[in-house]
Structure 1
Amino acid sequence: MTNVLSFARRSARPDGGLGALLAAFAHHRRRPGDAFWLKENAELLGILAATGRRLPDLQLAVYQPFHEGVEEQIAFHPQYYRMLLGLTLSLETLGFPGDKGRRLAEWIAAQGWIDSEVNDLQRAETRHLLALAGVEVDQPGLEARLLQFMSRPATFALPNPRAAYDLLHAIFYLTGYGRRPMELPAKARESLLHLGCLAHLEQNGDLLAEVLIALAYCNEPLPPLWLAMVLAERAEFRILPEECRDSADAYHNFLVNQWLLITIGDTAFCETFPAGPMRFSLNRSPISPMREWAQALQNMGEGRRADWARMRAACQGRVSETAMRVADAGAAGSPGFETFFAVFAREAGPAPAARNRVAG
């Protein structure tokens, strides 16, 4: 691979105002204990815990009501056991006193909740969380099945949020969020690069940041083009001192952006956060370059070909200057772009034969 940078991971520098951020997530964004509250707080605390830091008791004290009542919550809402366990383990990793995480993990393992999961990714998350608490569970063949799923690059060259999430989180769980870096098989690495090409073409900084984190967890170099895009986005966030009335703000984009900064050894979570409610804003184009390209290619019908140079010439008048500029940058700086585009173009071929229906 050419034109890439490799970053050594080191501890982030000291925070600023993190207590206000924790208080906003704990008290001011969602109703404590509901599914949205669990999701947002699990993501925030999970990211902080994955970086290996510890927080002052005063900052963590906002979670005392949750920690005191987690046994009752998990008994009444066992369907949320992964989020509840993850939150508890993250809190205690960050320095909250107690060993409830270990005791909850032992109870979950004894209850056999891992066998209630419908897919391998959920089983992998459960195994990861239990292992963090020192509880080992046997899941024969799990890693091999995840690697098989990850090793189909064509899956990740097309817009598919579910597949993208599963690929990235499979890497997070298998590496223990970077605690056990792994070497990706060649096809799985190609899958991750395809997903990065797609995220860049879409100008999706949230997804691209997670791709970069996954690459870092596998000791892979980070493409400068992708890194520059995500680092530039950090200046675009606006943290507003107002209530978030729905789940559509940019909190997740912000958290993942900060997570990447910590992963590459940069300073993160150093904003001056307002006291009280917070809403995260990020201006995004309503139509992405990726969508423009997909529409242009689809409208070409039988003229579609799995060839970037030919399709660039054919689509020059069909997409905006911005979409062309982003694609050109991707072709120059996204590793594996041409093999990605060969799938993304969906070269026209014979349609599936219609099945004859017999009236009866």
Structure 2
Amino acid sequence: MGKVITLDFKPARQDTGQAQSALAQCFARHRRIGDDVFWLKENAEFLNIHQTGSATLSAEALETYEGFYRDVEARLRFFPQYYRFLLSITLDLEDLGMEGQTGEALCAYAARKRLADAELSDLQRAEAERLLARRGFGAPDMALTERLQRFISHSETFALPNKKAAYELTHIIFYLSDYGRRNPRVSRAALRSLMYAGTLAFIDENADLLAEICVALRFAGADAPQAWEAWVAGIEAQYSVQPDRRAPLDDYHEYLVCNWHRMIAGQAAFTGSYEPARLRFTRPRGHYGLLRAISEYLYNLPQEKRGDWGSVRAALETVLAPEAMAHLADAERVMPEFEAFFEGFARGEAV
């Protein structure tokens, strides 16, 4: 009897246009329904990553959004509370190759109706200012810029675990720099804030946040630590993207921003093989739990001993797994001002 030969046929790698079209169909047609605010969020993120990453979208990918583009003026009139999402998607589609001037009409409507006046958050005001400026509406608000610069320059805020503040930090850099198109003129303290927030994200193994921080550092004219960028790339490589008919409670955003980081770093992005279906974005859940372990250890220390990093590090070596301790050592090695960071993180001062 002859030997049976098993052939392993691997699917051909998709070209960029095919990958874009499949992902566009996933987000525009299969994960959410069009009237869902989460549909707006996911598609705004998908398109914004391509537009700010200096990419172009294939004709097939753009075709997926023709129905949205045709009806978006009516949507804005009926759903003005979602104007930032609607403007963002429309402007990005046009900048990515969609023919039309609907974005200018939407910006004119938003400016005439003063929709940004309904924003209480400075961050959302900054986003609105940038969106309107893309079609020549509005004027820079210098008082707003000063408040944003003051917030991001308060480094002590970012030595503490506060994901909301950390994401606000990255987005302020995005808006002030127009996503890397201009010098945001941030202070050295603001760069320190990014390093503090990045150190916490690295310790906590939060690739979603760390990818954004690496991008923000580049937009601010600084170098992101190679160890951080390599770690983010390693996380992206672990992802599985597979069709799944269940509700899309997954890690899509982390996958998007990790690939966005690849774009900004000049590397090929979205290199997987994708089906035009509802996709689930997942990665293995290995986690050291370092941030919680360190916080619990510090909380139970006498206050006067918390800020001594040398003593704390020696004690942690006796309670943490070797792999976890190695990850913490990597965090310390990357951060030149680690002791100053740790002093703020340890909260050793009396009230």
TM norm structure 1: 0.89
Does the CA contact (< 8 Å) of 1:289 and 1:322 recur in 2? no
1:224 aligned partner: 226
1:194 aligned partner: 196
2:96 aligned partner: 94
CA RMSD of aligned residues (A): 1.7
1:333 aligned partner: 334
Residue identity opposite 2:30 in structure 1: H
2:8 aligned partner: none
Relative CO higher for 1 or 2, CA cutoff 8 Å, sep ≥ 6?
1
Structure 2, unaligned runs of 5 or more? 1-14
Structure 1, unaligned runs of 5 or more? 1-12, 353-360
1:60 aligned partner: 62
Structure 1 pair 190/294, CA: closer, same or farther in 2 (3 Å)?
same
Structure 1 pair 46/15, CA: closer, same or farther in 2 (3 Å)?
same
1:106-147 C-alpha deviation (Å, 9 max, x unpaired): 110111112111021111000011111221334241111100
Residue identity opposite 2:139 in structure 1: V
Question: Does 1:73 pair with 2:78?
Answer: no
Question: Does 1:271 pair with 2:272?
Answer: yes
Partner SS for 2:65:
helix
1:282 aligned partner: 283
Shift of 1:277: 1.4
Per mean C-alpha deviation after superposition, the further-off stretch among 170-179 and 337-346 is 337-346
1:29 aligned partner: 31
Question: Does 1:346 pair with 2:347?
Answer: yes
CA distance in 2, matches of 1:303, 1:85: 52
Shift of 1:287: 5.6
1:218-273 C-alpha deviation (Å, 9 max, x unpaired): 11012111111111112110001113404x30100100000000101000012111
CA distance in 2, matches of 1:301, 1:218: 39
Does the CA contact (< 8 Å) of 2:288 and 2:324 recur in 1? no
1:235 aligned partner: 237
CA distance in 2, matches of 1:342, 1:196: 16
- The correspondence of residues 1-360 of structure 1 with structure 2, limited to 5 A, is 17-246=19-248, 248-285=249-286, 288-302=289-303, 304-347=305-348, 349-350=349-350
Does the CA contact (< 8 Å) of 1:237 and 1:254 recur in 2? yes
Per mean C-alpha deviation after superposition, the further-off stretch among 142-151 and 46-55 is 46-55
Percent identity, aligned pairs only, is 38
Does the CA contact (< 8 Å) of 2:28 and 2:43 recur in 1? yes
Partner SS for 1:141:
helix
1:34-93 C-alpha deviation (Å, 9 max, x unpaired): 111000000000110112222222221111111111112111111111011101111111
Does the CA contact (< 8 Å) of 2:17 and 2:61 recur in 1? no
Does the CA contact (< 8 Å) of 1:183 and 1:219 recur in 2? no
Partner SS for 1:276:
coil
CA distance in 1, matches of 2:33, 2:267: 33
